[in-house]
Every structure is written in C-alpha cells, then in structure tokens.
Structure 1
Amino acid sequence: MNYQYNEQFAAATRQFADTAARINQLALENAQKVFGLQMATLEENAEATFAFFGEAAEVRDFDGMKTLLPKGVQIARENVERSISAGQEVFGTTVKTNEAIAEIAKSQLEAATVKAQAQAEKVVASAAKATKRR
C-alpha cells in the first residue's frame, strides 16, 4: 500500500516538474523575444537620432537650420511610432505566451480532475462491494 502512494507521489512530482519546465521555457522565450525587440527598436531609434545630430552639427547658417527642423520632427515622429509599434508587439507576444501558459494549467487541472474522479469512483465501488458482503 505504501509503495502505491510513493509511486503516485513520484508520478505527480514528475508531472509537476515537466509542467514547470514547459512554463519556464515559454516564459524565457517570451522574455528573449521582448528583449530582442526592444533592443532592435532602441538601436534603430539611436541610429536615426545620431544621424540627425551629425547633420545638425554640420549646419552653419540659419537657412540650414530651417531645413533641418522639419527633418528633426520627422525623425522624432518615426522614433515614437517605432516605440509604440514595438510596445504593441511586446504586448501581443506576452498575451500569447500567457494564453499558452493558461492552456497548460487548464490541461493539468483537467487531468487532475479526471484522476480524482476515477479514484473516487474506485473507492465508491469498493465500498459498495464491502457493503454487499455484509
């Protein structure tokens, strides 16, 4: 009888460890995607900004400054658009990852429910047999 409980405990522990490993893998993959996306966006924004600063350093007169101003506004707008787009993509990726994790949790809960119901039915059946013997 003790052996049966040990086997059940070991099986449950293995299942929990496998599930935790899958969830951790999903979370790590999500973090890698998010970090990579944010770094790429930061790099693009920095390149555009420093290129603009390079052009601004070469301006020597007021007319050059007048032509540079609209370009600066355009670069700032594009930087904001890239940042917002990256934020939306990060949000979408994180939502998908959380949905996958929730699906894993749901399947584990359903499997545990099925096992518990089977065990309960087994106990009821053995109790019914014991009652009939009396």
Structure 2
Amino acid sequence: MNYQYNEQFAAATRQFADAAARINHLALENAQKVFGLQLAALEENAEATFSFLGQAADVRDLDGLKTLFPKGVQIARENVERVISVGQEVLGATVKTNEAIAELARTQIESATAKAQDQAQGAVAAATKASKRR
C-alpha cells in the first residue's frame, strides 16, 4: 500500500516539475523577447539622438540653430513613438505568455482533479464492496 502512495506521489511530483519547467521556459522566452525589443529601441533612440547631437555640435550661427530646432523636435517625437510602440509590443507578448501559462496551469489542475475524482470513486467502490461483504 505504501508503494502505491509513493508511486502516486512520485508521479504527481514529476508532473508538477514538468509543468514548472514549461512555465519557466515560457517566462524566460518572454523575458528574452522583451529584453531584445527594448534593447533594439534603446539602440535606435541612442543612434538618432547622437546623430542629432553631432549635427548640433556643427552649428555655428543663429540660422543653423533655427533649422536644428525642428529636427530636434522630430527626433524626440520619433523616440517617444518608438518607446510607446515597443511598450505595446512588450505588453502584447507578456499577455500572450501569461495566457499560455494560465492554459498550462488550467490543464494541470484539470488533470489533477480528474485523477483525484477517479481515486475517490475507486475508494468509494472499494468501501461499498467491503461493506456488502460483511
């Protein structure tokens, strides 16, 4: 009888470990994707900003400064748009990952519930047989 309980416990532990490993894998994939998206946006923003600063360093008169101001505003606007776009992509990827994790958890819970119900029904049937024999 102990062997049966040990086997059930070992099977449940393996199932839990497998689910945890899959959840960790999904979470790490999402973190990698998020990090890559944010790093690419940071790179583009830094490149645009440093390019603008290089142009600003070459300005020698007031007319050059007047033409530089609209470029600076445009670069700032594009940088903000990039940050917002990446934020939306990150949010979408995170939502998809969380949905996948929730589905995995739901599947695990349904599986554990079904096993528990089967075992309870088996115990009820065994108890019923035992009571009828008496």
Question: Is the TM-score greater than 0.5?
Answer: yes
What is the correspondence of 1:1-134 to structure 2 with a 5 Å cutoff? Answer: 1-134=1-134
Distance 2:31 2:45 in 1: 21
Amino acid at match of 1:21: A
What TM-score, normalized to structure 2? 0.98
RMSD, aligned CA: 0.6
Distance 1:86 1:132 in 2: 68
Distance 2:114 2:17 in 1: 20
Amino acid at match of 1:52: F
Q: In the TM superposition, what is the alpha-carbon distance from 1:131 to its structure 2 partner? A: 1.7
Q: In the TM superposition, what is the alpha-carbon distance from 1:20 to its structure 2 partner? A: 0.5
Distance 1:125 1:3 in 2: 21
Structure 2 unaligned residues grouped into runs of 5+: none
Would you say how many aligned residue pairs link Structure 1 and Structure 2? 134
What TM-score, normalized to structure 1? 0.98
Q: Percent identity between the aligned chains?
A: 79
Distance 1:132 1:12 in 2: 33
Secondary structure (helix, strand or coil) at the match of 1:59 reads: coil
Structure 1 unaligned residues grouped into runs of 5+: none
Amino acid at match of 1:6: N
